């Protein structure tokens, strides 16, 4: 499944560290059955659904691209970027202007560039996940998770992968 609306408000972390992804209302089954028809029936064809600032470029500016896990990787990269820097990855006001004013022009909203990114290895993961070109991102959420796990183990934060 593609979640299609990953954002901090949809991520719950328990007191024991268990992470749960909430609100699967925009999810899409990529194994065969598809909910696109259901979403289009409620919203209309070609309507952008999701949360500005956490929409991958291909979701924000839909063209003829096939949506896959790399779109959710972009959204997770935006969440990680915000955790590392304290600022959102994308200026939402500028993103909304770009999305609605330039629907036919393929240009991702610019990333906010803080003066210095903390935790270089984690920052590199976030920036790779936020690549405009899906081919440059992690191919799956599992690969993104593994990259983060590897860094946390290397940094010896007491993290133990499950």
pLDDT tens-digit series, residues 100-122: 555 444 344 445 555 566 678 88
Q: How confident is the model at residue 47 (pLDDT cuts 50, 70, 90)?
A: low
45-54, 85-94, 153-162: which is most confident: 85-94
- What local confidence, expressed as pLDDT, does residue 112 receive? 54
5 is catalytic: yes
Q: How confident is the model at residue 123 (pLDDT cuts 50, 70, 90)?
A: confident
Rounded to whole angstroms, the Cα distance separating 65 from 79 reads 23
Q: What angle do CA 128, 26, 138 make, to 5 degrees?
A: 15
CA distances from 113 to 1, 58, 90 (A): 31, 21, 9
Mean pLDDT of 3-15: 93
Reported as a single tens digit per residue, the pLDDT across 57-66 is 888 776 556 6
- What local confidence, expressed as pLDDT, does residue 7 receive? 96
Q: What angle do CA 84, 85, 89 make, to 5 degrees?
A: 100
* Rounded (to 5) percent helix, strand, coil in the chain: 45, 5, 50
- What local confidence, expressed as pLDDT, does residue 104 receive? 41
Q: How confident is the model at residue 137 (pLDDT cuts 50, 70, 90)?
A: very high
Rounded to whole angstroms, the Cα distance separating 138 from 45 reads 29
Q: How confident is the model at residue 73 (pLDDT cuts 50, 70, 90)?
A: very high
Higher pLDDT among residues 140 and 44, named by residue: 140
Catalytic choice (5, 64, 91, 150)? 5
Q: DSSP code of 67? A: P
């Amino acid at each position: 499944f593609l979640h299609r609306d990953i954002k901090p408000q949809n991520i719950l972390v328990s007191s024991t560290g268990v992470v749960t992804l909430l609100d699967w209302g925009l999810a899409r089954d990529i194994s065969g059955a598809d909910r696109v028809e259901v979403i289009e029936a409620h919203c209309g064809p070609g309507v952008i659904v999701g949360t500005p600032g956490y929409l991958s470029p291909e979701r924000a500016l839909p063209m003829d691209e096939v949506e896959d896990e790399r779109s959710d990787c972009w959204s997770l990269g935006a969440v990680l970027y915000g955790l590392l820097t304290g600022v959102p990855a994308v200026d939402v006001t500028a993103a909304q202007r770009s999305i609605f004013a330039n629907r036919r022009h393929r240009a991702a909203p610019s990333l906010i560039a803080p003066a210095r990114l903390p935790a270089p290895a984690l920052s590199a993961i976030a920036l790779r996940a936020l690549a405009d070109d899906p081919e440059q991102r992690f191919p799956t959420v599992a690969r993104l998770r593994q990259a983060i796990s590897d860094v946390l183990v290397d940094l010896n934060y007491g993290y133990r992968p499950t």
